[in-house]
A and B are shown apart, each in its own frame.
Chain A
Amino acid sequence: MTTFGHFALLAALIAAAWAATAAFLGAVGATRGLQRSAERSLLCTAGFVACAVFALEWGLLRDDFRLDYVYHYSSHAQPLAYKLGALWGGQSGSLLFWSLILTAMATVMVATNRDKNRALMPAATAVVGLVLTFFLLLVNVIESPFVTGPLRPDGVGLNPQLKNYWMLIHPPCLYLGYVGFTVPFAFAIAALVTRRTGDIWFRTTRRWTMFAWFFLGTGILLGSYWAYVELGWGGYWAWDPVENASLMPWLTGTAFLHSVMIQEKKGMLKIWNMILIILTFCLSIFGTFLTRSGIISSVHAFATSNIGPAFGLFLGLVFFGSLLLLIFRLESLRTEARLESLLSRESSFVFNNLILVGIAGTVLLLTTFPLISVQLTGRKVTMGPPIFNTVNIPWALCLLFLAGVGPLIAWRKASRENLRRNFTVPALSGLWMLLAVLMLDPAGYWEKLRSVFSSGAFDGIKGFYPALTFGIGAFVMGTLGLEFHRGVRARQHQHGESLPVAAGRMMWRNKRRWGGYLVHLGVVVVFAGIAGSSSYQKETVGEITPGQSLAIDGYRLHYLGHEVLVEDDHLGTLARFEVSQDGRPAGTLQAEQRAHVNLVFPVLKEAFQLAKAVPPGPDRRRAALAMYRLIGEMEGRAGREVKTPSTEVAIRSSMNPLRPTRFGEDLYVIPLAVDPETGRASVRVFVNPMVNFIWLGGLILVLGAHLSVLPDAAERKRLRAAMEIEERAVA
C-alpha cells in the first residue's frame, strides 16, 4: 500500500501539473481541446489523490507502524474514529487532506461549469491546477506521508488533546473554509486575465464564497467550543496565532460578501472586491503557513516542519503576482457609479469594509509583532489577550453598530425622514438597554467613569465595553425587528395572510436578504455571549477531600468521592460532585484528570496492559494505583516524558428559559489535580454567565447562512441575464 500511495501521489502531481499547463495554453488562445484535457486531468487528479488518501487510511487502520506517519499519529489502542481522523492530525496528512478537498472542489467546479463560463474556465482551471500542483509538490517532495522507517511494535499515538470528537469535525470544517476560497479566487483571476470583469465572476462564485465563509466561520466556532470543553482553562478564545490565522481570512471574506453587493447593485468597488478576494485567499494560505511552519509558537501547532520556505515563496508569488495582474487591469475595473452621501447604505458598507479589513490587518500586525520586534529591536515580546482586546474591541463595537445601520439606511442618500423613521425605535431600545445595564451597578460604573480621567482612557473605557455591547446589540436587534415587523405587516395588508404565513413567505421570497439578517442576529447573540461571559465570570479555587463542599455564586459543589480508572489509552482519576443551584438540586458532575502513559517504555507498556487485563473491581483499582506509583518513580529519571496529562472538565449548562438570569450560564469545573490514593482534589470552578449565547448565536448564524444559499429562481435569472449581457458586450 505504501508503494501504491507513493505512485498515486506522483500520478496526481503529474495530472495536476498537466491540468495547469493545458488550461494555461487554453487560456492564451490555443485549442478548446486543451481546456477539455485540462478539465479531465483535474478529474484524474481527484481520483489519484483519493487513492493516496485511501492508502494512508489503510495504513492507519491496519496499524502499519513502518509508516512514519502512522507511527507518530496512531497506536494500537487508538479508537477507530481517531485512527481515521489522524489523517489531519499531522503535517503531511493534513496537506494530503487539503489536496483531497481541493480536488473535490475542482471536480464540482468542472462539473457545474461544463456548459457555461467557457471564457473564464481555462484561466480558472489553470489557477486551481497551479494551487493543486503546489500542494502535491509538497506532499511528494518535502512532506510525504508515505515515508517508512524500521518495524515498530506500536505507535506514539495522537496528541491526547486531539482525542476529542470535535477534532473529527473542527479541522475539516476549517479546511473546507480555507480551501473553498480557492474557487472564487480562481474566477477573480480568470476575470482579470480575460478582462471580463463584469458581474459573472462573482455571481458564479457567490455560493462558493458563502460556502467557504460558512465553513470557516463554523470551524472557528467549533474550535472555540473545542478549546472550551477540552483545553480546560475556562475560556474559548485566547488570540493564539493559529486562532488568529483562521479569523483573518474570515474577516476579509465577510468584507468581500458585503462589498460585492455594492458591485452587484451599483457597479462600484470593483478594484476593492478584487483586492479583497486576493487578500482572503492569501490569508487562507498564510493561515496554513502559520499553523504548519512553526515560525510563531502556538499551542495549536500540533504539527510543524520545514515547509515554511516553500509556503513563503508560494504565498509571495500568489500575492504579488495577483496584485501585478490587478494593476495591469485597472482600466477594465472602472467604477460605474459614485458614492453620493456619507449617509447611505453604500457608505455604511464601505465603513463596514474598512473596519473588517482594519481588524484583520490589526490581527495580522499583532500576531506577527513578536517577529517584527525581534528583527527591529532585538527584544522578544508576548502578544497576549490584553493588547488584542484593547485594540480590537472598540472597532468590533463600531462594526456591530454598522450591522444595525446597514439594513435600514437608504441606498444612495438617506434623508432626515428616512433616518428618523428607521432609527428612532432601535436607537431608543439601544439607549434603554445601555442605561439599564449601567443601572445594575451604578456605583461601579461611576467609579469606572472616574478612572477614565484618573488612570487614562485606555483602561477606564474598558469597563464600559459590556454595557456598550448590550446597548449596541439591542440597537441592532431593534433594526432587525423593525424590518421584520414592517415586511410582515406589508404582506398581511396586501395579501391578507396570517402572521406566520406572511413571515415565512416574506423570508422565502427573499432568502438572501433574510438569511443575511439572521446572520446579523446570530452575530449580536455571539457578541452578547462574549461580553457576558468575559465580563461577569466568577471564579474560585479550592482543595477539597471527599465529603467536603465548595460554594460559588449560588452554586454548591459537594465532593462525593473519586474513582481510579484504567481505560483503553489512559489512566484516569475521576472526581464526582453533587451540584445544587440556588439551593435546589442540580444533578451530579464528574471531572477527570487523565494520564496518557508513554508506551514507548516497555516496562510501562507491559504494566499498562496487565492493568487493563484485570477485571473491574478492587483488583483493578489496586493495579491502577500501582501504575500511578510506577509513573511517579520513573518521572524525573526516565529522560523523557513518562506520561502526558490531560483534563476532562465538567460543565453544567443552565438552559431553562424560565430562569432568565441563569439562562445560558455554565458551571465549569476544572480538576487541577486529583490524588489517586486519597482523592484529595484541587479544583478550579468558574461560573460563566451567558457563555452558551456564543454557541446559540453560532446556530442562528448557521441557519442564516443556509437560508441565504438556498436555490433562488430570481438569483438564477439575474445570473443568466448578466451572462447574456456579458456575451453581448464581448461580441
Chain B
Amino acid sequence: MPERRAAALLLALALFAPVQAAGEIPPGVDAKAYLEVATTLLCDCGCHPQSVHACACGRATEMREEIAAALRGGGPGGTPQSAAQVIAAYVARYGEKIRIAPTKRGFNLVAWLGPSIALLTAGLAVSLALRRWRGSGEGEPVPAGVPAELDPAYLQRLRRELGEER
C-alpha cells in the first residue's frame, strides 16, 4: 500500500514537474541592474499594466533598448548609469506613475501593508472572540420552546435521512 501511494505521488510530481526559467537580458549590460530597472518600470503603451520586462508590445521593446543603452552609457554624458539613476531619470520625466507599483514608503505603506495588517487583526479578533465564548462557560443558546430531550419522531426522521445520504 505505501509503495502504491508513493507511486501515485511520484506520478503527480511528474505531472507537476516544470523546469526553471531564464530571463532575456540584452547583451553587454549587467543582468541584475537591467532586471531591477525593467521590472520596476511600467510599459507606458496603455495596454495592461505590465512592467517593461513583461510587456510584449513594441513600446516595451523600445523602452528595453533605452534602458539597456542608459545602463551601457549611451546617455547624454556617455557614462554608464546605475539602475537607481535610470529609474530616477524615468520618474523625473514621467512622475511616480511610471513605476509598476508604488514605492514601499510613506502613504504607500497603506497599500502594501494595510490589507495584511487588517486581515491579521480581524483573524486575531475572531480567534479571541471564539476563546471568550468558550471560556465564558455559556453553552450553546437554545431557542425558547425547544425541549431538552429530542423528539423520538424527529430522531427517527434524522436516522432515515442519514440513511438516504449514505
Contact = CB atoms under 8 A, between A and B. Distances in A.
A707 to B, nearest CB: 16
B156 interface: no
Contact of A509 (B46, B57, B108, B165): B165
Contacts of B165: 509-510, 714
A381 B119 CA distance: 24
Interface residues of A, number: 85
14 contacts: A240-B48, A377-B106, A381-B96, A381-B97, A382-B101, A384-B42, A387-B112, A432-B9, A440-B17, A470-B16, A535-B18, A536-B19, A537-B21, A690-B16
A441 B20 contact: yes
Contacts of A383: 49, 101-102, 111
Nearest to A660: B14
B51 interface: yes
A384 B51 contact: yes
A365 B115 contact: yes
A536 B49 contact: no
B97 A238 contact: no
A660 B15 contact: yes
A646 B125 CA distance: 51
A504 to B, nearest CB: 14
A611 interface: no
A292 B131 CA distance: 46
Given A387-B102, A536-B21, A365 B114 contact: yes
Contact of B161 (A233, A299, A342, A714): A714
Given A238-B48, A382-B97, A661-B17, A365 B134 contact: no
B141 A672 contact: no
A390 interface: yes
B104 to A, nearest CB: 8
Given A240-B48, A381-B97, A536-B21, A235 B54 contact: yes
Given A386-B101, A470-B16, A299 B48 contact: yes
Contact of A538 (B22, B48, B110, B112): B22
Contact of B164 (A384, A436, A714): A714
A494 B163 CA distance: 11
A34 to B, nearest CB: 35
A354 B16 contact: no
B85 to A, nearest CB: 20
Contact of B23 (A425, A510, A539): A539
B151 interface: no
Interface of B: 5, 9, 11-24, 39, 42, 46-51, 54-58, 61, 95-102, 104, 106-108, 110-112, 114-116, 118-119, 122-123, 126-127, 130-131, 133-134, 138, 140-141, 143, 161, 164-166
B155 to A, nearest CB: 16
Contact of A361 (B42, B111, B118): B118
Interface string A404-430: 000000000000000000000100010
B111 A369 contact: yes
Contacts of A341: 130, 134
A391 interface: yes
Interface string A526-538: 0010001001111
B118 to A, nearest CB: 7
A331 interface: no
A689 interface: yes
B47 to A, nearest CB: 5
Contacts of B115: 358, 361-362, 365-366, 391
B12 A433 contact: yes
A690 B18 CA distance: 8
Nearest to B61: A672
A381 B14 CA distance: 42
Contacts of A684: 56
A660 B17 contact: yes
Given A336-B141, A337-B140, A299 B47 contact: yes
Nearest to B129: A339
Nearest to B16: A470
A380 B95 contact: yes
A656 interface: no
A339 B129 CA distance: 10
B15 A663 contact: yes
Contacts of B118: 358, 361
B49 A358 contact: no
A231 B166 contact: no
A494 B166 contact: yes
A232 B56 contact: yes
Interface string A473-511: 010010000000000001100100000000000000110
